[in-house]
């Protein structure tokens, strides 16, 4: 009998799932590390660009789409969900979607989990 998944475990896996990343990289830990470092840099740059007051809703939607794909690729599923929701709202014409407010917290949680996975200090 399998143990029940606790809310904390489910939330943790949605924040960052290292098993997903391992399956995407064939277990190559050096590649995983490289991808996570690239993801951390890219996601930070995207969040900064999303905060640019001169960015149009369409430009923001494109950035959120990029963040969604890269977050899914590394296993940062909660961030991917938040970015996908913001993208949908921007594509629908919202100037400041409610979903955008979730991105910074989802990003911080994902990056903290990734740093822990890499053995770095938060």
Show me where the domains of the chain are located. Answer: 15-118
CA 82 centroid distance within chain: 8
* DSSP code, position 12: H
Structure-token match 């369409």, residue found: 58
Distance CA 110, CA 98 (A): 20
Q: Tell me, what's the pLDDT at 93?
A: 83
Q: What is the pLDDT of residues 35-84, one digit of tens each?
A: 999 999 999 999 999 989 899 999 999 999 999 999 999 999 999 999 99
In the chain, the N- to C-terminal Cα span, in Å, equals 36
Q: What is the pTM of this model?
A: 0.85
The pLDDT tens digits of the residues spanning 5-27 come to 444 444 555 899 999 999 999 99
**Ranges 31-35, 72-76, 89-93: which has the least confidence:** 89-93
State the Cα–Cα distance between residues 72 and 10, nearest whole angstrom.
Answer: 16
pLDDT at 100: 81
Confidence of residue 87 (pLDDT cuts 50, 70, 90): very high
| Residue (of 106, 87, 105) closest to 97 by Cα position | 87
- In the structure, what pLDDT confidence band is assigned to residue 32 with cuts at 50, 70 and 90? very high
* Answer CATH for 15-118 from 1.20.1330, 1.20.120, 1.10.10, 3.20.20: 1.20.120
What pLDDT, on the 0 to 100 scale, is given for residue 121? Answer: 56
What pLDDT, on the 0 to 100 scale, is given for residue 101? Answer: 85
Calpha distance 83→65 (Å, rounded): 7
Helices within 1-122 (DSSP H only): 7-15, 18-24, 29-50, 57-74, 77-91, 103-118
């Amino acid at each position: 009998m399998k143990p029940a998944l606790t809310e904390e475990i489910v939330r943790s896996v949605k924040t960052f799932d290292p098993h997903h990343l391992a399956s995407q990289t064939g277990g190559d830990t050096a590649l995983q590390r490289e991808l996570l470092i690239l993801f951390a840099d890219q996601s930070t740059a995207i969040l900064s660009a999303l905060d640019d007051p001169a960015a149009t809703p369409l430009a923001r939607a494109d950035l959120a789409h990029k963040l969604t794909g890269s977050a899914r690729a590394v296993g940062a599923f909660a961030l991917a969900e938040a970015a996908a929701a913001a993208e949908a709202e921007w594509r629908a014409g919202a100037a400041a979607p409610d979903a955008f407010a979730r991105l910074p917290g989802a990003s911080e949680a994902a990056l903290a989990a990734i740093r822990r996975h890499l053995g770095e200090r938060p």
